């Protein structure tokens, strides 16, 4: 059974007037909004200056701790002891009061106790850490 649609009724039922109204309203909105944002940039306001300002787009330094398969801890490709790592974390906590970022990269064959000790030190000094366990060969 086929459905017959008369052309006159379909075109008569479809009204483009509301669609055109919406398009014009959007066009006016974007024209006004772009003009206002341009005016904000054109205002001649002397901004304060700072002698020791640092850019806000700089990401905070992240301390990367590598643990090899024997459980040795390396930071910046240098072997360090637990006491040295704790000293580094303490200094990082002083430098970044909101919590220093630490990435712990451990070999998959390392005994679990070593990464847990490093995570415990991070928690002690308020560091935000992430743990990544990977194959040393890759």
Task: State residue 60's pLDDT score.
Answer: 57
Q: Give the pTM.
A: 0.53
Does residue 34 form part of some domain?
yes
Domain count, the chain: 2
Residues 74-125 have pLDDT tens digits of 988 899 999 999 999 998 888 887 778 898 888 888 888 888 999 999 888 8
Does residue 54 form part of some domain?
no
Residue 132: alpha-carbon gap to chain centroid: 18
Tokens, residue 112: 């679990």
Same domain, 71 and 125: yes
Task: State residue 13's pLDDT score.
Answer: 66
Q: Which of 106, 90, 87, 96 is nearest to 61 (CA)?
A: 96
Same domain, 77 and 111: yes
Same domain, 74 and 127: yes
Under the banding of pLDDT at 50, 70 and 90, the label for residue 26 is: very high
């Amino acid at each position: 059974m086929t459905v017959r649609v008369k052309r006159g009724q379909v075109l008569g039922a479809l009204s483009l007037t509301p669609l055109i109204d919406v398009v014009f309203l959007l066009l006016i909105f974007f024209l006004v909004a772009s003009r206002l944002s341009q005016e904000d940039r054109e205002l001649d306001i002397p901004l304060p200056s700072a002698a020791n300002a640092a850019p806000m787009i700089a990401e905070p330094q992240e301390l990367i701790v590598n643990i090899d398969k024997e459980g040795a801890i390396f930071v910046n490709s240098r072997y360090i002891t637990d006491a040295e790592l704790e000293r580094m974390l303490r200094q990082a906590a002083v430098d970044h009061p909101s919590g220093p970022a630490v990435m712990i990269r451990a070999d998959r064959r390392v005994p679990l106790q070593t990464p847990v000790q490093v995570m415990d030190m991070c928690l002690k000094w308020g560091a935000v850490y992430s743990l990544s366990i990977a194959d040393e060969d890759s």
